[in-house]
Structure 1
Amino acid sequence: MTDSASSEPKAPGGIRAFIAEHPTASTVTVAAVVFALLAGVAVFAGISVGSASSAVDVTPDEVTVEQRSQPDVTPGSVSVRTCSVDPLATVATFPSLVGVVTDVSSGDVLWDRSAEDASSPAHIVTAFTAAAALQTLGADTRISTKVVDGSQPGVIVLVGGGDPTLATTNASYYRDAPQISELASQAMTRYEELHPGVPITEIVLDSTLWTTADAWDPNWPERERTGGYHSYVTALMVNGDRADPTIAISPRGTDPVKSAGQAFAQAAGLPAVTFSNGAAVGNTVLGEVKSQPVSVLVEQMLNSGDDSIAESLARLVSKKLGFSGAASTLTQAMQGALADAGLADAGSITITDGSGLSPKNQVSPLFAAQFMAQGASGSGAVGTVYGMLPVGGKSGDLYSRFEGDAAAASGNVAAKSGWTNQEHSLAGVVNAKDGTQLAFAFYSIGEGISTDARTAIDNLVAGVYSCGSNLSNY
């Protein structure tokens, strides 16, 4: 049997089923939908009519869409440098501090404290003197000291050529220096050949290569001479005018020219001879000795801070460039020589001596750092100077530096130091811990500055070493 309910036909499903079962509700719903559609048509028709009758008739061609300006080149990301050396730069040990750190490769300034303001760089000037001498005089040039025949028999002339290293002993502080005994031997032999039987009664001392009127800069403290660091600047002298020719620091005299004449007379065996000052008038050479090459003199000057060599080389640069050799010509001479060596901003510096002892020297830290950067990355005279610089903790006058807190930078800094009773300075290049080469120049200047400032500068450079390219300007 089958269920009678299941045998009845079923209404269609979906909407038709709903209408079949609820005819009244369906009729009302359909009417409402139709009304809503008709109302919508009326509204849109109204809008269309209203737009057509509007006072402003805008067509698609008249619509302007403002475009935002776009940069020609999308800037790349800039890294934020976060390593600060400010605590090391603001210690009380520094009465004041100006300086700069630059990236040798890019030239970018990473750290700046009045970097473009000209200040006294102290003995950093000797690095500029070295480059000027190599560029102008030539690395292989040797400086002559001569004896020439006088205007009459019995008179000879000792002619200074600007060599302060002429020595009275083989144990001279100056390495392989020319010997005045050799000069005397040559001169006496030749003189006796020319004037047999005529004794020498007078020696003319010729120091006229440059004027002796400015042999001592009034800005140099007298204690530098009496203390043994600095001699008068004359074209004729022996031993850098040291009282003890075998050591670096030894009191200097007040008349280097006369001292040289006396040393020659003693070497020549002429105890009763008289001296006069003048210029040679003849050209018959009786004897001649020459210094070590300029390159050797420069290296010794840079490593030991020898002021006598520095001053002589600066005057010789002036003479070579057509100036008089007077101190007043040194700024022009040094500007010209350094420009020839490739320093584009050489015209910005003021140089009044070759050693840097005078506070009248004015060189910005930025120029000093650019000089060092060029030396580290190039060749020529500046590159040669850079290769001769003392290395912190290893050589020259930096041998005993970069100790204690600064020891991490030992062996990684090539630099030239400077110091006076009012200043400590250092400029060079540090090979940073991250492999970046950074050029720097720091000058600390102020009355009563102590040697602690030197240690503080070493610590600052060591901080730069640790920061490397992450060095912040804050």
Structure 2
Amino acid sequence: MSEHAPTHPSKAGLGGVFARARRHSGALVIAAAATGVAILAGGALVAGAAVGASGDSSAALSDGSPSQVAGPTVSPTPTSTPTPTATPAARPLPASVLAAQPVRTCSIAEAASDGRLGTFQGSVRNATTGEILYDHGGGTYSRTASVMKVLTSAAALAVLGPDYRVTTKVVAGSTPGQVVLVGGGDITLSSGSSNIYPGSASMTDLASQVASSLGGAAVTSIVLDSSAFGGDAWQASWNRKELFDGWSSEVTALQVDGDRADPSSSQSARSEDPIGRAGAAFASALGAGGAAISQGAAPAGAAVLGQVQSAPVSTMVQDALLRSDNTEAEMLARLTAIAQGSGNTFGALAASTPAALATYGLDTTGLVIVDGSGLSDDNGVSPNFLSALFAKIAAREGNLGVIADGLPVAGESGTLAGRFTGSNSDAAGRVIAKTGWIDTGYTLSGIINAADGTILTFAFFALDNVSDSSKQALDTITAAAYRCGNNLSNL
């Protein structure tokens, strides 16, 4: 016997298997098959161990005993690395998506090319949205003619307010029998019982109060105090013929009837001594024709013998716009500057009017203001500024409804009463606007209640080589804008 105990068949080597096979030839086929299965199973285990346990080269047979046969090492099938796919660059996107814009097709280009418009500038704005629909030199600052009165009125309403009234008074003088007539700037004061200005105060009423206060004492001298306004009485850039033609008076704090020779006429020759004319009217109303008249200042703290007040600013604004009264506009501009603390001269208007307009939220950069009436060629206002101001007026912001209610109406009232006729008559009654005219330009600016229901604001300037026929050309382009409404193109 061998000193070693015989091994279990499942643990024997291949030689043992073939020896048994010779002794048991009938089992050869079965033994061979079994051996093949065992080998295959062992190989599978080895391969599995190689894959499942890194570095472990031993394997266990199915009964848990160590295998005596080293199987071939099986390496894992390498995994191919996929070829990276290039990512397409992202398409650039806009920072924000623009809102859809209407395509406008209605043009006023033909009307704008009318030679009667001279050097033409224009701006049309949708008053509700604020969008500028038409801009032809709209950002250029130019003379406005009497459209300047709209700026003056808006400034006065902002600073003085619609209820402000101007006081003219008489105080006791420094000597017995002397009285001092103190002008507060009311150029609408009537020399008698009435004049062209609605609601004007009366010199007759003032004289009656003074006579009552004096108790019958005689007036021997009259001092005229017009110191409320300072500086030059005539703006240096104005044509002096405006005075003699009857379009404007000198700007003084004391005068009567706007210094008209004919108090009932809008256009009437003015004098070169409005203060003296007012003194004569007072002496006449007082019955003191023999009294000495001079100019001077009222004593401080002097007793008031009588006083009268003008119509409210709201009334004077509407009158100045409807008739385009230059003297009334200059009075409003000067009173605004004084109340604002800018001064009491023409030079004060450069600061006071823009400052007042800025309170409406308007950008006043670039405005050049040298007067309140628009008589000067030196004023500078852009059509775009005017269309923006009129958008405020159309919305009746602050006290600006006063202006909206007082502007001339096309074909119906004021300086537009005889205009917008013939082919432009469809816009009559639908345009409210301020007219302007000086030797070097015709202007028109205001509000259009357009045919499609849109509220438009506009400013059209016809400058340089112009004539009276320019007014019809301005009416024509305004009527064209009326027909276009919000479909107005900027082409």
What interval of TM-score do these two structures reach, taking the shorter chain for normalisation?
0.7 to 0.9
Structure 1 counterpart of 2:383, from 365, 380, 384: 365
1:387 equivalent to 2:410? Answer no
Name the structure 2 match of 1:240. Answer: 258
1:374 equivalent to 2:420? Answer no
In structure 2, relative to structure 1, the CA distance for the partners of 1:286 and 1:88 (3 Å cut) is same
Name the structure 2 match of 1:204. Answer: 223
SS state at 1:117 partner? coil
- Supply the distance in 1 between the matched residues of 2:82 and 2:377 (Cα, whole angstroms): 79
Alignment of 1:16-165 (within 5 A): 59-61=82-84, 63-71=86-94, 73-165=96-188
Shift of 1:272: 1.2
Name the structure 1 match of 2:484. Answer: 467
- Supply the distance in 2 between the matched residues of 1:277 and 1:331 (Cα, whole angstroms): 29
Name the structure 2 match of 1:425. Answer: 443
TM-score, with structure 2 as normaliser: 0.81
Quick one: which amino acid aligns to residue 389 of structure 2?
F
- Give the length in aligned residue pairs: 411
Q: After superposition, what is the alpha-carbon deviation per residue over 1:187-219, rounded to whole angstroms, capped at 9, x for unaligned?
A: 1221237xx4xx3221110000011x4110121
SS state at 1:430 partner? strand
Aligned 8 A contact 1:88 1:456 in 2: yes
RMSD: 1.6
In structure 2, relative to structure 1, the CA distance for the partners of 1:347 and 1:188 (3 Å cut) is farther
Shift of 1:247: 1.2
Unpaired runs of 5+ residues, structure 2, are 1-79
SS state at 2:210 partner? helix
Aligned 8 A contact 2:318 2:402 in 1: no
Aligned 8 A contact 1:140 1:293 in 2: yes
Name the structure 2 match of 1:34. Answer: none
- Supply the distance in 1 between the matched residues of 2:337 and 2:95 (Cα, whole angstroms): 51
SS state at 2:411 partner? coil
Aligned 8 A contact 1:371 1:382 in 2: no
- Supply the distance in 2 between the matched residues of 1:115 and 1:183 (Cα, whole angstroms): 49
The percent identity for this pair of structures is 40
Name the structure 2 match of 1:458. Answer: 475
Greater shift in the superposed pair: 393-402 or 377-386: 377-386
- Supply the distance in 2 between the matched residues of 1:170 and 1:100 (Cα, whole angstroms): 45
Structure 2 counterpart of 1:315, from 320, 330, 334: 334
Shift of 1:102: 1.0
Q: After superposition, what is the alpha-carbon deviation per residue over 1:210-241, rounded to whole angstroms, capped at 9, x for unaligned?
A: 11x41101211122111111000000000000
Shift of 1:72: 5.0
- Supply the distance in 2 between the matched residues of 1:425 and 1:67 (Cα, whole angstroms): 55
Q: After superposition, what is the alpha-carbon deviation per residue over 1:123-175, rounded to whole angstroms, capped at 9, x for unaligned?
A: 11111111111111121111111000001112110000000111123341112
Aligned 8 A contact 2:324 2:415 in 1: yes
SS state at 2:180 partner? strand
Q: After superposition, what is the alpha-carbon deviation per residue over 1:47-105, rounded to whole angstroms, capped at 9, x for unaligned?
A: xxxxxxxxxx9844353322222335444443321111111111111221011111111
- Supply the distance in 1 between the matched residues of 2:431 and 2:299 (Cα, whole angstroms): 51
Quick one: which amino acid aligns to residue 150 of structure 1?
G
In structure 2, relative to structure 1, the CA distance for the partners of 1:394 and 1:278 (3 Å cut) is same
SS state at 1:346 partner? coil
SS state at 1:186 partner? helix
Quick one: which amino acid aligns to residue 359 of structure 1?
D
- Supply the distance in 2 between the matched residues of 1:67 and 1:271 (Cα, whole angstroms): 96
Aligned 8 A contact 2:322 2:414 in 1: yes
Aligned 8 A contact 1:149 1:191 in 2: no
SS state at 1:129 partner? helix
Q: After superposition, what is the alpha-carbon deviation per residue over 1:356-409, rounded to whole angstroms, capped at 9, x for unaligned?
A: 111111001100110001111232123331222111112221111111121111
Q: After superposition, what is the alpha-carbon deviation per residue over 1:321-357, rounded to whole angstroms, capped at 9, x for unaligned?
A: 11221000101110111112x1421243111111011
Aligned 8 A contact 2:194 2:202 in 1: no
TM-score, with structure 1 as normaliser: 0.84
- Supply the distance in 1 between the matched residues of 2:89 and 2:245 (Cα, whole angstroms): 79
1:225 equivalent to 2:243? Answer yes
- Supply the distance in 2 between the matched residues of 1:221 and 1:107 (Cα, whole angstroms): 37
Aligned 8 A contact 1:343 1:371 in 2: no
Shift of 1:270: 0.9
Alignment of 1:318-329 (within 5 A): 318-329=337-348
SS state at 1:271 partner? coil
- Supply the distance in 1 between the matched residues of 2:96 and 2:149 (Cα, whole angstroms): 46
Shift of 1:274: 1.2
1:281 equivalent to 2:299? Answer yes
SS state at 1:381 partner? coil
In structure 2, relative to structure 1, the CA distance for the partners of 1:201 and 1:79 (3 Å cut) is same
Aligned 8 A contact 2:362 2:389 in 1: no
SS state at 1:348 partner? coil
Name the structure 1 match of 2:454. Answer: 436
SS state at 1:189 partner? helix
Unpaired runs of 5+ residues, structure 1, are 1-56
SS state at 1:64 partner? coil
